Chain A
Amino acid sequence: MKKILMAAAVSMAVASPAFSDDVKIGVILGYTGPIESLTPDMAAGAELAMKEVNDSGKFMNGMNVVSVRGDSTCIDAAAATSTAERLITSDGVSAIVGADCSGVTTAILQNVAMANGIVMISPSATSPALTTVEDDGLFFRTAPSDARQGKIVADILMERGFKTAAMTYTNNDYGKGLADSIAANYTAAGGTITISTPHEDGKADYNAEVGSLAQAGGDILIVAGYLDQGGRGIIQASLDNGAFDIFYMPDGMIGDSLPEAIGPALNGSIGDVPGTDSPGAATFETMASDAGFKAGPFAPESYDAAALIMMAMQKAGSTNSQDFKSHIESIANAPGEKIYPGELGKALDLIASGKDVDYVGASAVELVNGGESAGNYREIEVQNGKNVTVNFR
């Protein structure tokens, strides 16, 4: 009942008429699909930044920011494209936080964002292909490229003494990109990948995949998939028939639902997720729990994506993407006063008075390579059924 009421309240909020001096920002994430358990917190993160800016009353002489949510589905490029089309042409959003998964993000960027000249900042698209994609200076991401993650994975595995590994990845841009990067770095570091095989998400049964992974063998199984999807299916099936008992889980696999679903058998498995020990992360966690959601994976990045858009608008004095796109990198990087979560009002003041800011935010944003996060990672170990951060990298 509570959920129905909440849903009604949300649809009311979406339906309420926007005032003429409202700025709309689209939040396009996969509210349905393989990462649907992560996206509510991500959207809440982005909207928390908007609320903070609205409450300060300092944005563009008192303009109000409104969030418009749209479903990317994470996997269906056609659906994501039409969602973005609708948000831009009929809702009139000025910028987009999103999308989430790499494939749909590329589709939206190339088919809609570039055609309409709209800035998009993805909190979670990590495919290396997005580094070099043609973007007219419109695309940024607060998540690091998986080219960097591959290095981190190789480092962690070698330090912990895993010399051979079997690997399976989700069969899409994200999985393939990450798997290639892990394989290249791991092999260069002296490790051996015994087999690298894709799996489809949302399948009924993963015994066939686990069968061939088990035959190839290895000290550890790297599962570059999604925690609510095939990734979990693979781990469960491997444990059930005794094929592997320790797993490496890259960022798409880190979330509370996985250890909860698998139980004690997952203890001792390791992984990594973008994250930082900067003070911003802790502040954001408190702010999130006060606002009634969890600072789950990519929620800090979502907050930062929304914050960057609004501050760049403030700096350009315009909500037109062509005017503010060039300011995003200078806001995110030094020089300037460091800005942490909860200080957006202060940042808006500084910008209005012509001073430089260096937005650090919840995920220690530092944009490199033409607009992607340099990448800070937390090394995760599952202990007593919880994802515990054991190290920062």
Chain B
Amino acid sequence: MMTDLINALVLIANFILVPGLTYGSQLGLGALGITMIYSVLRFSNFAHGEMMSFGAMVTILMTWWMQSQGLTFGPLPTALFALPVGIIVTIGLTLTADRLVFRYYREIKAPPVTLLIVSMGLMFFLGGLIRFIIGPNDQKFFDGERFILKARDFKTMTGLSEGLAIKSTQGITVVLAVLMVSFLFWFLTYTRTGKSMRAYSNNEDLALLSGINPERVVMVTWIITAVLITLAGTLYGLDKSYKPFTYLSLLLPIFASAIVGGIGSPVGAILGGFVIAFSELFITFAYKRVLGYLLPEHLEPSGLMQLLTTDYKIALSFVILVLVLIIKPTGIAGGKTL
């Protein structure tokens, strides 16, 4: 009986908890970037997905160079050590984009919708640029040890009939996401620049009156966003695979996460990421075998015991989005209304 219970738990851990934790972290990091731009620059940045792709691309190019020089790091993926270069180049990209594109619209006080459309233009431009440089295909850049725990090893180790697999990229993703988010909260709460950013976000006019330099706030925001972007893009590429096309479709769940959590609220972005990731997994999971372990033999279900088929997986993020907007328009953590 006890083994059955453990088997059921392992099954859920393997198919829901571990993937959900990873996917949620990736979405959360992405949503954090959206939220930063939204609260400080006051527009929804549609180029976010392509910027993630760009950051990941630079990291990949650097990784390949390091691999060709024989610079590898044992069990750790080389890409982790190429990240700083990716981050620096992406900071250059976001600052250039701001200088050449967004600054003009900020100066003429264009409405947020104009900036949103402008960011879509940038999205298409970046998408094209990325395909010119690295091409439309899948790129492999993962090296090092693939698994922390293999399903088969887990079975022989524990003697259970269900396996539990943890990929090293899943571990890395969660650890880096925690580090990054803690750093961000520390930065926003305790540093002078962080405080001036929050002030600027709360009330632009008051912030300007008290001597906060708006261009500096904007610059720091883009720099932090670039770090988030590169990290999210690279971790996602490392865990799944790098292909320019998927970053475009990543945009929807990321926006859903930001809004569900409460746009403008950093805590909300993280929460939203996990809500979206786990609801997709929990609601579309087939509980046939879980119930098979838990229920007495004659009650074992013959159907799949699935609440919703995975066809509705995409719709699910939107259902949650709509529910949140109706019941609590400011999002779970209470951000701004859109």
Contacts and interface: CB of A to CB of B under 8 A. Distances in A.
Nearest to A210: B15
Contact of B313 (A4, A36, A208): A208
B285 A241 contact: no
B311 A171 contact: yes
B184 interface: no
Contact of B248 (A4, A195, A202, A207): A202
A241 B165 contact: yes
A228 interface: yes
Interface stretch (B66-74, B93-101, B132-140, B220-228): B132-140
Interface string A185-213: 00000000001011110111101111110
B313 A200 contact: yes
Interface in B1-58: 14-16, 18-20, 23, 26-27
Given A32-B136, A228-B137, A215 B287 contact: yes
Interface string B301-317: 00010100111011000
Interface in A306-328: none
A200 B314 contact: yes
Contacts of B14: 241-242
Contacts of B262: none
A261 B236 contact: no
B165 A228 contact: no
Contacts of A13: none
A199 B310 contact: yes
Interface stretch (B78-86, B190-198, B238-246): B238-246
B304 A215 contact: yes
A195 B304 contact: yes
B115 to A, nearest CB: 25
Contacts of A171: 311
B240 A204 contact: yes
Interface stretch (A128-136, A232-240, A246-254, A275-283): A232-240
B310 A228 contact: no
Given A33-B245, A36-B137, A211 B284 contact: yes
Which of B19, B284, B306 counts the most chain A CB atoms within 10 A? B19
B249 A241 contact: no
B241 A236 contact: yes
A358 to B, nearest CB: 38
A160 interface: no
B249 A37 contact: no
Given A233-B240, A242-B152, A257 B137 contact: yes
A368 interface: no
Interface string A242-278: 1100000000000001001100000000000000000
B287 A37 contact: no
A195 B150 CA distance: 26
Contact of A198 (B27, B133, B311): B311
Contacts, number: 125
Given A207-B23, A211-B15, A197 B310 contact: yes
A212 B289 contact: no
B15 A241 contact: yes
A207 B19 CA distance: 7
B285 A37 contact: no
B89 interface: no
Given A36-B137, A242-B152, A236 B240 contact: yes
Nearest to A257: B138
B207 interface: no
Contacts of A210: 15
B135 A3 contact: yes
B253 interface: yes
Nearest to A205: B23
A197 B285 CA distance: 12
Contacts of A36: 136-137, 245
A260 B15 CA distance: 25
A7 interface: yes
A37 B306 contact: no
Which of B167, B243, B287, B288 counts the most chain A CB atoms within 10 A? B243
Interface in B233-265: 236, 240-241, 243, 245-246, 248-250, 253
A204 B132 contact: no
Interface string A38-79: 000000000000000000000000000000000000000000
Nearest to B290: A215
A212 B248 contact: no
B163 interface: yes
A215 B243 CA distance: 29
Contact of B284 (A198, A208, A232): A208
B325 interface: no
A211 B304 CA distance: 11
B167 A240 contact: yes
B246 A204 contact: yes
B241 A261 contact: yes
Given A204-B240, A208-B284, A236-B241, A216 B304 contact: yes
Contact of B285 (A32, A212, A261): A212
Contacts of B294: none
B310 A208 contact: yes
B281 interface: yes
Nearest to B241: A261
A115 B70 CA distance: 59
Interface string B199-234: 000000000000000000000000000000000000
Contact of A215 (B19, B136, B277, B288): B288
A204 B253 contact: yes
Interface in B149-163: 150-152, 163
Contacts of B289: 215
Nearest to A203: B249
A212 B284 CA distance: 7
A316 B246 CA distance: 46
Contacts of A4: 132
A243 B162 CA distance: 10
A34 interface: yes
Contact of B309 (A37, A202, A203, A212): A212
A202 B135 contact: no
Given A7-B132, A212-B285, 13 more contacts: A32-B136, A37-B137, A203-B313, A204-B26, A204-B27, A204-B240, A212-B306, A215-B289, A215-B304, A241-B151, A242-B163, A257-B137, A260-B140
Closest 7 CB pairs of A and B: A242-B151, A207-B19, A215-B286, A212-B286, A211-B15, A202-B249, A36-B136
13 contacts: A3-B132, A32-B131, A37-B138, A202-B248, A204-B240, A211-B285, A212-B310, A215-B286, A215-B289, A215-B306, A216-B286, A242-B151, A257-B137
